[in-house]
Amino acid sequence: MAPMPFVQALERALDILEAFSPQNYELGITELSQRVNLSPPTVSRLVQTLVARGYLTQNPENKKYRLSFKFLDFTAVIHAGMDLYQVCIPVLGRLRDKLKETVYIDVMDGDERVCAISFPGIHAVRTVVPVGQRSPLYAGADSRMLLASLDVREIDDYLERVEFMVFTANTITDKQKLREVVMKSREMDMSISVSEFHPGSACVSVPIRDYSAKVVGVLSVSFPDSRADLATFLYYARAVSQAATDISTAMGFKGRVGPPDPSSLTSYIEDFLERGTS
């Protein structure tokens, strides 16, 4: 079967929309032209169409463009079909208020973990995990918990094809070591990390399961590594496990998620802290 033809104008319009990011949320015609490799007149015509349809809006002060709130309509449509989103909001709110740290839910998108929902911490010193943030499946507790949810063959396939990037001094790039850590996370039904993806950020992650016991997401707490001691890890791990269990139960899962027993959890965290890395 011959490949379907691409619609060039649509591709170009999508390139323009994808040029915006949290770091570059306002762009002018010249900047967009450079980013999408199109002439300014072509970009201007496409931008005006996107403005007319409500997808872009112009800042009257600097004449630059930004994405409009119309994209929130799509978010609402996506969330309307997500049972996970429906049931987790009150649980996330209670967990954030209890821990006062940033709590969030990730889902898997290809070979990446993407943050779907995030409640920012209320401590004066806190970490930030924005909605839409992505990371590879090997970097950090949240990503690795998603990787651990795959079957063993899929995990090995991933480890064979992945090309590692070093984000911090604690990023695990040795495949054998990473496999051991992933298998441990799989055994414990929990993953922990310190400064693997973002320097200065610690994390505890627990899977969320649906009625079929399938992992549909990961619930995590992120906090500054200055608070990453045994007592804090234990307290946060228990709280996140209970919250993940509450969400999983609401989705029809019969059982508990998280470490099998208190002694296993304590040994897991003590061993992690002794080794100084996941």
Q: Are residues 117 and 187 in the same domain?
A: yes
The answer to whether residue 74 sits within a structural domain is no
Q: Residue 13 sits in which domain range?
A: 8-68
The answer to whether residue 2 sits within a structural domain is no
Q: For the whole prediction, is pTM greater than 0.95?
A: no
| pLDDT at position 218 | 96
Tokens of 96: 């954030």
User: Does the pLDDT value for residue 13 go beyond 50?
Assistant: yes
DSSP string, 2-15: PPPPP-HHHHHHHH
Residues 122-165 have pLDDT tens digits of: 999 999 999 989 999 999 999 999 999 999 999 999 999 999 99
Q: Which long-range contacts (CB under 8 A, 24 or more apart) does 85-93 make?
A: 85/116, 85/117, 87/247, 87/250, 87/251, 88/117, 88/208, 88/219, 88/247, 89/117, 91/243, 91/246, 91/247, 91/250, 92/117, 92/119, 92/219, 92/243, 93/119
User: Does the pLDDT value for residue 11 go beyond 90?
Assistant: yes
The answer to whether residue 27 sits within a structural domain is yes
Q: Are residues 86 and 191 in the same domain?
A: yes
Q: Are residues 94 and 59 in the same domain?
A: no
Q: For residues 12 and 10, give the distance between their C-alpha atoms in angstroms, rounded to a whole number.
A: 5
* Residue 34 burial by Cβ neighbours in a 10 Å radius (0-12, 13-18, 19+): middle
Boundary residue ending a domain (16, 33, 68): 68
| pLDDT at position 5 | 62
The answer to whether residue 1 sits within a structural domain is no
| pLDDT at position 84 | 72
- Mean pLDDT, the chain, rounded, equals 91
Q: Are residues 125 and 209 in the same domain?
A: yes
How many domains are there within the chain?
2
Per-residue pLDDT, averaged over 208-229, amounts to 93
Higher per-residue confidence, 266 vs 1: 266
Q: What is the CATH number of the domain that holds 196?
A: 3.30.450.40
Q: For residues 125 and 255, give the distance between their C-alpha atoms in angstroms, rounded to a whole number.
A: 35
Across 191-248, the runs of DSSP E, i.e. the strands, are 191-194, 201-209, 215-224
Residues 165-189 have pLDDT tens digits of: 999 999 999 999 999 999 999 999 9
Q: Are residues 118 and 217 in the same domain?
A: yes
Q: Which residues contact 263 (CB under 8 A, 6 or more apart)?
A: none
Q: Are residues 180 and 57 in the same domain?
A: no
